[in-house]
Amino acid sequence: MLLVKNGYMIDPKSGREGKYDILIEKGRIADIGRGLCPGTPCEVIDAQGLLVAPGLVDVHVHFRDPGFPLKEDIFSGAGAAAKGGFTTVVMMANTRPPIDNVKTLEEVLDKGRNTGIHVLSCANVTLGMKGQELTDMEELARKGAAGFTDDGVPLLDEAIVRRAMEKAANLGLPISFHEEDPALIAENGIHRGKASAFFGIGGSPREAETRLVERDLKLAAGTGASVNIQHISAKESVELVRQAKQKGIRVHAEATPHHFTLTEEAAIEYKTLAKMNPPLREEEDRQAIIRGLSDGTIDIIATDHAPHTAEEKAQDITKAPSGIIGLETALALGITKLVQEGCLTMRRLLELMSTNPAKLYHLDAGYLDIHGPGDLILVDTSAEVIPGNYVSRASNTPFTGWKLKGKVVTTICDGKVVYTE
């Protein structure tokens, strides 16, 4: 048994908030109350002065396993997740080979079971991520796929997208879309505007995103699928999602910490360390994302944790791969840039990072309640965090050396301490 005493608990799902003790037995929460004193000996953690919250849930991570272990593997990625306060993650399927078959799916899920946290995986929508032929979505779902996506590659064939949505709807699983039309993009990863002008390249316009978002929202309306718009970056996309929700369409949207924190100015300053797909855009876009997080238009904060080697990122801006790591900085960025600046309450931040992503993927996670999962984190919200010394194998992020607030002190998964400061 494990007893967490004297912490200030926030449970976004129930709205319960205050000073409580939490008793965990056999991986589940056995009791929540004040002054708990179990009759049998147990391990005790004194959480005095700390926030106690549900283990965070990230439904958009790249662990590069199989295929690219020098960037990240499932074990190093899970370690980074635990340090960042995440007890559940959902991997994307753009590995090598891709997770478009049962064999590869079962291999990554087997590895995930030995990490100490809950490591789940999506499967691909199309074979080989070629956008031409659907995978056996029914069999992949039966074997444990948490959802479906070809993240990293946009789906361009409207008929394929419609069929995939229909199948996902029948299976009751979410389907997620990377919304960037390559026909409109000269060089990806850099916004077409001030940043592209600085580098002397064509860059990626906002229309590349909004065109596919508009298409997929129309398709979602006709299929009943639970559609997730990944890493939203443009103010127009946020408004399209807002209007779709008002019409009752089953659409969800996720925002990354880098998109609610940075603009294209960061690409000019940090060069390839701030190159990502979709790119960092303008201040109006950043503010639109924050408003979307506040008013419920955007449901989820997801890291899009995308490790790359230092050698890859040292290349020219047009050759370096897009993406940054995010698991070890996400919560501190949320506390610093959203909560402390008065954009969100702490409860809303935790809802976006735990309860809502768990709900989208139908996971038993993201809440604190009796008989619920023994997955929780202890956070010193006032402690300074200076990112660096990463558990991840990669360090490709512009946030290294920043002064942030909000340190994960302890991460508990299934009633076991999987990370402690």
CA distance 77 to 140: 23
306: its two tokens? 């995308």
DSSP string covering 24-76: EETTEEEEEESS---SS--EEEE-TT-EEEEPEEEEEE---TTT-TTT--HHH
What span, in angstroms and rounded, lies between the C-alpha atoms of 368 and 155? 37
Task: List the alpha helices (DSSP H) in 117-234.
Answer: 137-142, 158-171, 194-199, 206-223
Beta bridge partners of 20: 7
Kind plus residue range of the DSSP H or E element containing 4: strand 2-10
Question: Which position among 11, 21, 58, 304 bears the catalytic label?
Answer: 304
Rounded CA separation 11/372 (Å): 12
Tell me which residue has tokens 């955007």. Answer: 298
If one counts every other C-beta atom within 10 angstroms of the C-beta of residue 7, the result is 23
In the chain, DSSP finds a helix count (H) and a strand count (E) of 14, 16
CB 174 within 8 A of CB 360: yes
Q: What value, to the nearest 5°, has the Cα angle with vertex 292 and ends 287 and 295? A: 125
Q: Is 316 exposed, middle or buried (0-12, 13-18, 19+ CB in 10 A)?
A: exposed
Backbone angles phi, psi at 254, to 5 degrees: -120, 145
Residue 275 falls in which region: left (phi positive, over 0), alpha (psi -120 to 50) or beta: beta
Supply 176's token pair: 């997620």
Question: What is the rounded end-to-end Cα distance, in angstroms, of the chain?
Answer: 21
Could you tell me how far CA 272 lies from the centroid of its own chain? Answer: 21
Active site residue 285: no
**Crossing angle, helix 283-295 and helix 235-246, to 10 degrees?**
30
Catalytic residues: 304
